[in-house]
Amino acid sequence: MNTNLKLLIAVLIGAGISASGLYFFGNSTEPEVISAEKKPLYWVAPMDSNYRRDAPGLSPMGMDLVPVYSEGADNNQDGPSAVTISPAVINNLGVRTAKVQLKALQSEVKTVGYVQYNQDQLVHIHPRVEGWIETLYVKAAGDQVKQGEPLYTLYSPQLVNAQEEFVLAVDRNNTVLIRAAKARLKALNVSDGFVERLQVNKKVMQNITFYARQSGVVDELNVREGFYVKPGTSMMSIAQLDEVWVEAEVFERQAQLIEVGLPVTMTLDYIAGQSWRGKVDYIYPTLDAKNRTLRVRLRFNNQDHQLKPNMFAQVSIHAKAAEQQLIVPKEAVIRTGSQDRVVIALGEGRFKSVAVELGRSDSHNAVILAGVKADDEVVTSAQFLLDSESSKSSDFKRMQTPEATTSVWGKGVVNSVMADRRMVNISHDPIEELDWPSMKMDFTVADSVDFQALQAGQTLHFELTKKADSSYMISGIHIMDSTHMMSEAQNMATVTGTINSINKAQRTANISRGAIEKWHRDPATMDFMFAEHIDLSSLEPKQQLTFTFSVQDGEFVIQRIDTESSMRTSDNSAMSSHDGH
């Protein structure tokens, strides 16, 4: 009995151990879930990509540092202005895109104008003699007249005398006198029919009636019955409405699109749904000095006389299609006071804002002269939100190929030296070439620079060179601290350069100098001062010269100019210029 109980207990204990072992080993084979939180590579200042830290904090301008993750490093090929938006956000924003197309822009110049009489068909009525209007057959401007209808009757002593002379010549049957008297009557605008009747009936008329020389409408009626008129008096005008002019104005920037003969479409508000087709008849040679607009004369057929002078019209001048250019929808362009931009869709939720150079545009499309390529995808809706997000870190430049490195010089004070990372923190003065204000920034120091010479508190000139990732590193230094001044021989260099500009009053010049081998300096454009003993009278912009300069208290001072070499260079330039002519 005791033996059986012991066996039962042993079996139960073994089963428990086996179950525990199976449970333990079974669980150990399941995949282990590790919650690994994504960690930033580093933190960077929003306004200065050179200011980097290993932990969160504030930038020198008091802004929170921004974390940079590994996927950001993987997308460096998109440039620093690229942003990534989740598909859900893209859908909520309603982002739409369109391709950059290579095609010709069909321009249409829209403007306004006023209907006018065709001045080529406008006849002005003036008397040839002094006299009084006895009868006026037209009563108001706008009256219709036909060719040969009477306009007015005039009493003039000169006309009476001319008739009497003609009758006297006829009575004497003197051919010479008849011919002379008839010519005088015609010169006084008397009709041929009146002269023939006078020659037959020999009856002198006190009042003579004058007739319309063409059909049309009366314009500018300036006389009434009883008016005294004389040569030079503008009595009335007769204009035709079968064809009219439209005087329009176009902006100065559109003047190059306008050519004589271009088709024109015109509409008027008072006749809805109807349009007229005409052409450009004449382009005036001068611009309006106040409005900066160019006057253009358009010609339209008006057989039904619907178009009236002084009517206000909207016109569209259809310019010729230009050569094929890069075209984007007009709504894709973001215009600012100093820059035009578009947002490019890079794919997989990535977007980038780039600066573009705009050309001509119409009501729907705009020409892009630089900044995009054919078949690029540009955002046409919600681009302002994407541009705002992209602008936080954007360089607004299209980086098709890496830009050539450039260098500039700055002046500042060393705040701290970080030997472990080969970096220095400098409070620098404004740098105009980079549009930088006075700031406190961290810079990496190139291997070619003597890092041991840098100490906190030093005042120095430093050369910044742009790297491929658009950051700047210190590639050269001139320390102004007395403990690190160079010897006189080391402190002076002779170099050849070209004067870009010179201020003789302040004894300064901007010179593009060549390389300085002993300092391992590449060619650069710098400001120099002239020592007091240097004669500046013969120096001019664009002149090449060989000069020796020194570094004094951080300034570059020209101590000597090789006159013979400079004159030889100037003579060679003059001879080259002469040979070119």
Listing DSSP states for 456-500 in one string gives TT-EEEEEEEE-TTS-EEEEEEEE-SGGGPPPTTTTEEEEEEEEE
CA gap 50, 60 in Å, rounded: 12
Phi, psi dihedrals of residue 469, rounded to the nearest 5°: -90, 15
Contacts with 503 (C-beta within 8 Å, 6 or more apart), sequence order: 509
Q: Count how many Cα atoms sit within 13 Å of the Cα of residue 380 in the half-sphere of its side chain.
A: 15
What is the tally of helices (H) and strands (E) in the chain?
Answer: 8, 36
Residues of the chain with CATH 2.40.50.100: 123-239
In CATH, which of 3.40.50.300, 3.40.50.970, 3.30.930.10, 2.40.50.100 is domain 123-239? 2.40.50.100
Instruction: Give pLDDT tens digits for 360-398.
Output: 776 677 778 887 778 788 777 765 555 554 554 444 433
Contacts with 528 (C-beta within 8 Å, 6 or more apart), sequence order: 508, 509, 510, 511, 547, 549, 556, 557, 558
Fold classification of 492-580 is OB fold (Dihydrolipoamide Acetyltransferase, E2P) (2.40.50)
The residue ranking higher by pLDDT, 565 or 476, is 476
* Residue 392 region by backbone torsions, left for phi larger than 0, else alpha for psi between -120 and 50, else beta: alpha
Listing DSSP states for 132-146 in one string gives EEEEES--STT-EE-
Task: Tell whether the model's pLDDT for residue 69 goes beyond 60.
Answer: no
Residue 388 confidence (pLDDT)? 54
Instruction: Give pLDDT tens digits for 150-207.
Output: 999 999 998 889 888 888 888 888 888 888 988 888 888 888 888 888 888 888 889 8
Residue 541 confidence (pLDDT)? 92
In this prediction, residues 80-87 reach a mean pLDDT of: 63
For residues 156 and 130, the answer to whether their CB atoms sit within 8 Å is yes
Residues of the chain with CATH 2.40.50.320: 407-484, 492-580
Helix (H) or strand (E) holding 453: none
Task: Tell whether the model's pLDDT for residue 289 goes beyond 80.
Answer: yes
Strands, E assignment, 269-323: 271-287, 293-301, 312-318
Task: Tell whether the model's pLDDT for residue 14 goes beyond 60.
Answer: no
CA gap 157, 131 in Å, rounded: 7
CA gap 69, 267 in Å, rounded: 60
Residues of the chain with CATH 2.40.420.20: 82-105+323-391
Task: Tell whether the model's pLDDT for residue 305 goes beyond 70.
Answer: yes
**Superfamily (CATH) of domain 243-318:** Efflux pump adaptor protein, beta barrel domain (2.40.30.170)
Q: Which residue has the tokens 């690029």?
A: 376
CA gap 262, 526 in Å, rounded: 54
> Which residue type occupies 480?
M
Task: Tell whether the model's pLDDT for residue 131 goes beyond 90.
Answer: yes
Report which of 529, 523, 532, 566 is spatially closest to residue 547, judged by C-alpha positions. 566
Q: Which residue has the tokens 């005008």?
A: 237
CATH number of 407-484: 2.40.50.320
The residue ranking higher by pLDDT, 44 or 157, is 157
CA gap 129, 230 in Å, rounded: 6
Residue 155 confidence (pLDDT)? 92
Residue 136 confidence (pLDDT)? 92
In CATH, which of 2.40.420.20, 2.60.120.10, 1.10.357.10, 1.10.1040.10 is domain 82-105+323-391? 2.40.420.20
Instruction: Give pLDDT tens digits for 307-322.
Output: 888 888 888 888 776 6
Residue 19 confidence (pLDDT)? 45
